[in-house]
Amino acid sequence: TVENLQTVPVAVTSLGEEQLAQRGIDNITSVQQYSPNTTLQVSRGTNSTLTAYIRGIGQQDPLWGFEPGVGIYIDDVYLARPQGAALDVYDVERVEVLRGPQGTLYGRNTIGGAVKYVTKTLTGDNQLALRGTLGSYNQRDVKISGQTGLSDTVFVSGAFASFNRDGFGKFLNTGDENYNKDLMSGRLSLQWNVADNFRVNLAADKTVDDSNPRGGFRLFPSALAPTDTRPTKVYDANISMPVENKVETEGQSLTLTWDVNDNWTIKSITAKREGVTDTNIDFDSTSFPTLDIPAFYEDEQTSQELQFLYTGERLKVASGLYYYSGEACGAFGQVVYGLSTTENGGCVDTDSTAFYSQGSYQLDEKWSLTLGGRYTKDDKDASVYRYVYNGYKFPREPGGTLIGVQTDFTDSASFSHFS
């Protein structure tokens, strides 16, 4: 439902398509400039891994063992992992930032708040939009989107975006770009109006980020790499690792919406998502492998949400059931002086079930009473290892000789909470 932001009893920032375009916002991280108490930044080493904080609550480290405190959503579908969550803005109707806990209203992991990316509504009209951007550092961005009606009740839409930019600096010892951008993304959607009060929406999206890993600026030269060209610009660096980095994410969703009558709406949201990241993080930014971190992340998730929404003259109620099943895996090596690699890795499997409800009753023109609650139960299984190899070893690749096992275990735990 559409409401005036001045009367909505939550702290929310909402930016529509025109506002985003007028302010030059082409990535969700730029929204932080217009949302108080919000930090949305690209995490270390990539263009598309997100660090999100709202009111001081969030997730700093993108490792698979951590749960985020700020939920990121695409059309009501929760993104469990931060890899690929620094979304580029295209085919968008609005971006919302909701500050404060949202768990009594929908979804998962929103104790700090939620960031919602809402794509364009399908209307069946014939539409085609093309937007191009040329800028400094050889920036070349293209966004194409359109929709049409296949019949009076079936509508389709598609969108494609390509974002390219040379680096703000270079890796001085290899000549490769540093802080460049090479990303493509696409989305397909279909809506079937089965009846006047029943809609079926199908959507699929995919993003591929081939940008180089990001190198840091050294304030002081390293005695271990005396021949390195010393950077004089903040975006210049040296690197001792392959200049390779790739983030791939994709997802599919099915949304069923039934307007039972003027007051009740029932919505089902079924989704599946997966992602793979291979990255190289050179912590010391020299041509000598003082401290190199080759890493990978893999994740997949399935979620099902059933919402029951009531809107009356004075009373509004949002209730629902939420189920999530996901596996997050990864490994990163700590290569010290190129002599040995300590590889830390494992997987975390999560099954989560939640029930939530919130009601708000308008007492008069100025006062309303709101009550809400949520019960969540999580079952987690984890496998964790820490191996030491002789030589330089990349995760998931042969190499090095195993010389020690420091950790190797599996465990499980269950958590439940009502608030």
Model pTM greater than 0.95? Answer: no
Average pLDDT estimate for 385-407: 90
CB-CB contact of 406 with 138 (8 Å): no
For domain 122-418, give the CATH number. Answer: 2.40.170.20
pLDDT band of residue 3 (cuts 50, 70, 90) is low
Neighbours of 257 (CB within 10 A): 18
- The span from the CA of 290 to the CA of 388, in Å, is 16
pLDDT band of residue 11 (cuts 50, 70, 90) is confident
Neighbours of 384 (CB within 10 A): 15
Task: Decide the pairing of beta strands 113-119 and 70-74.
Answer: parallel
Average pLDDT estimate for 369-394: 95
Give me the residues paired with residue 150 across strands: none
Q: In the predicted model, is pLDDT for residue 146 greater than 90? A: yes
CB-CB contact of 96 with 72 (8 Å): no
**Residue 117: what residue type?**
Y
pLDDT in tens, 252-278: 999 999 999 999 999 999 999 999 999
Closest by CA position to 213, among listed 248, 238, 179 = 179
| Percentage of the chain lying above the pLDDT 70 cut | 97
- The span from the CA of 98 to the CA of 121, in Å, is 21
CB-CB contact of 382 with 65 (8 Å): yes
pLDDT in tens, 28-57: 999 999 999 999 988 876 778 888 999 999
Q: In the predicted model, is pLDDT for residue 242 greater than 90? A: yes
pLDDT band of residue 85 (cuts 50, 70, 90) is confident
The pLDDT of residue 280 is: 92
Distances (CA, A) of 156 to 17, 73, 161, 358: 20, 22, 17, 34
Q: Where are the alpha helices (DSSP H) in 160-207?
A: none
Average pLDDT estimate for 389-417: 91
Average pLDDT estimate for 270-297: 93
The pLDDT of residue 396 is: 84
Average pLDDT estimate for 150-175: 96
Q: Exposure pattern of 345-376 as b/e (b: 16+ CB <10 Å)?
A: bbbbebebebebbbbeeeeeeeeeeeebebeb
CB-CB contact of 94 with 31 (8 Å): no
Average pLDDT estimate for 113-117: 94
Residues 6+ apart with CB under 8 A from 254: 200, 201, 202, 268, 269, 270, 271
| Percentage of the chain lying above the pLDDT 90 cut | 78
